[in-house]
């Protein structure tokens, strides 16, 4: 059993797990924090006009999005088995949102690739997350 | 003793997700350089690069599209090496996008994708030891 575990954690698949674990912790945290700083970009442009904003301004709504993304990244950090699904499903929501705004479909394609990566992390976490 | 470890169902699932994603996404993104259905790709090219080109911006982006479709096919045929190529290509895109401040969020997305491609390459190394 110990040998099997040792063989597992030295395997290329374990490295794949580590890479995805880092990526899907860091990226949601950065994207979430930047909803407050707008260092990377003005994120408010991405909110679909069709999205019900609960009476909030676009910027306030996106700040709420940012908080959720930071929390999602932290969940991936401590519990990637669950966090991988949360981030993947969140990205699916972002894709639906972006598909209602013409001109951002290429961004939606990127998010599709990211969603698949997040689901892959969730599967790998079944093997490697303690 | 050498432990021969076969990929588990979870590893195989993860591999298949990334394998499908990193064939489809470069093929679609490459093909759309010719159709511009998803977005206007020409705007992403760094101005410093575009100025030095002997060809028009759009022509250059079509060549980019051909390379991306080729990279998608390479992933399909040789995932271990194709994924490295896609990852390196994405690193180039990130450097290019960083020169355009309004697209830095897209650079962050491409950073996540580049790491995803690296992960695919690592997984492919484990899959190829068995009949995948």
DSSP string, B52-84: H-SS-HHHHHHHHHHHHHHHHHHHHH-HHHHHH
- Chain A residue numbers with beta carbons less than 8 Å from the beta carbon of B83 are none
pTM over 0.95: no
| Tokens at B35, concatenated | 């159709």
Q: Do B14 and A114 touch (CB under 8 A)?
A: no
Residue A110: closest CA among B100, B70, B86, B3 = B86
- Helices A105-128 + B9-35 axis angle, to 10: 170
The answer to whether residue A107 neighbours chain B at the CB level (below 8 Å) is: yes
Share of chain B above pLDDT 90, in %: 88
Residue A1, domain member (yes or no):
no
Mean pLDDT score across all residues of chain B: 93
A-proximal residues of B, 79-108, CB under 8 Å: 101-108
Residue A5, domain member (yes or no):
no
Q: Do A40 and B105 touch (CB under 8 A)?
A: yes
Q: What is the pLDDT of residue B6?
A: 77
Q: How open is the CA angle A25-A79-B17, to the nearest 5 degrees?
A: 70
- Digit-coded pLDDT (tens) for A84-118: 999 999 999 999 999 999 889 999 999 999 999 99
Q: Do A40 and B104 touch (CB under 8 A)?
A: yes
Residue A81, domain member (yes or no):
yes
3-class state of residue B120 by DSSP: helix
Mean pLDDT score across all residues of chain A: 94
Domain enclosing residue A45, as ranges: 12-128
Measured from the Cβ of residue A112, the count of other Cβ atoms closer than 10 Å reads 19
The answer to whether residue A7 neighbours chain B at the CB level (below 8 Å) is: yes
Residue B28: closest CA among B68, B60, B61 = B68
Cα of B13 to nearest chain A Cα, Å: 7
Q: Do B39 and A116 touch (CB under 8 A)?
A: no
For A127, nearest residue in chain B (alpha carbons): B10
> How many domains is chain A built from?
1
């Amino acid at each position: 059993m110990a040998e099997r575990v040792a063989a597992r954690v030295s395997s290329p698949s374990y490295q794949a797990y580590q890479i995805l674990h880092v990526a899907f912790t860091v990226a949601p945290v950065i994207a979430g924090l930047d909803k407050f700083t707008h260092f990377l970009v003005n994120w408010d442009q991405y909110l679909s006009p069709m999205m019900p904003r609960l009476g909030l301004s676009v910027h306030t709504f996106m700040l709420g999005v940012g908080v959720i993304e930071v929390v999602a990244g932290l969940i991936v950090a401590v519990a990637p088995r669950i966090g991988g699904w949360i981030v993947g499903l969140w990205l699916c929501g972002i894709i639906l949102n972006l598909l209602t705004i013409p001109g951002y479909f290429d961004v939606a394609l990127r998010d599709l690739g990211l969603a698949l990566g997040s689901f892959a992390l969730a599967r790998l976490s079944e093997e490697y997350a303690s | 003793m050498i432990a021969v470890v076969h990929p588990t169902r979870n590893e195989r699932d993860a591999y298949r997700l990334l394998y499908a994603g990193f064939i489809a996404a470069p093929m679609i993104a490459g093909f759309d350089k010719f159709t511009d259905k998803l977005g206007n790709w020409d705007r992403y090219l760094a101005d410093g690069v575009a100025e030095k080109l002997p060809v028009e911006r759009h022509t250059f982006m079509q060549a980019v599209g051909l390379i991306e479709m080729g990279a998608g096919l390479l992933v399909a045929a040789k995932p271990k090496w194709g994924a490295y190529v896609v990852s390196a290509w994405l690193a180039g895109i990130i450097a290019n996008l960083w020169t355009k401040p309004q697209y830095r969020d897209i650079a962050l997305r491409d950073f996540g994708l580049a790491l995803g491609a690296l992960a695919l390459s690592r997984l492919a190394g484990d899959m190829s030891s068995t009949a995948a």
